[in-house]
Amino acid sequence: MLSEKMVKELNNQINEELFSSYLYLSMSSYCNAQGLAGFSNWMRVQAQEELSHATKIFDYLLERNAQVTLGSIEQPKHEWKDLLNVFEETLAHEKHITGRFNLLMSVAIEEKDYATQSFLKWFIDEQVEEESNVDNMLSKLKLIGDNTSAVFYLDQEASTRVYVAPTAE
């Protein structure tokens, strides 16, 4: 049985993941408005991943016979200075989410909740990949600067990203 504290924090994380999805959809819209359909796709895939994370936590709570309590989702911003700023904020947001999962793991350890520790390991590993993917794109954007030809090329690369649903474990 999950402790009240663990249930509360997992419910909070569902909200964080839903906000993340909402934020990345907003970023996708911004990129599209800038004529960057590839980056719009990249962010849309990111949004799908975050929604799947929320669903995975939702399902875990149900599997453990815990109450899911969905909260309000804050409205994300919809304007950025430029594409570089979009990815800087994306990396900062992913670091925030990593911190949230670290907090969840700390609570699971404190509560001696070994099942939830096992469940959270997937997310801890996933966050390493999330931060790396964003940092990789951010590094490329910093390297190319204002070179519009290179931005166009990178936009084409971003258009090839596809959503891959997490495998069942």
pLDDT score of 166: 83
Q: Domain for residue 166, yes or no? A: no
**Which DSSP symbol is given to 34?**
T
Q: Domain for residue 140, yes or no? A: yes
Query: Residue 73's domain spans which residues?
Result: 4-158
For 13, phi and psi rounded to 5 degrees? -70, -35
Q: Domain for residue 11, yes or no? A: yes
pLDDT score of 154: 97
pLDDT score of 168: 57
Q: Domain for residue 154, yes or no? A: yes
pLDDT score of 169: 54
Q: Domain for residue 165, yes or no? A: no
pLDDT score of 167: 74
Rg value, the chain, Cα: 17
Q: Domain for residue 63, yes or no? A: yes
pLDDT score of 103: 98
The pTM of this model reads 0.95
- Report the C-alpha gap between 107 and 113 in whole angstroms: 8
Residues of the chain with pLDDT under 50: none
Q: Domain for residue 143, yes or no? A: yes
CATH number at residue 38: 1.20.1260.10
| Domain total of the chain | 1
pLDDT score of 87: 98
Helices and strands in the chain, H and E counts: 5, 0
- Report the C-alpha gap between 55 and 87 in whole angstroms: 25
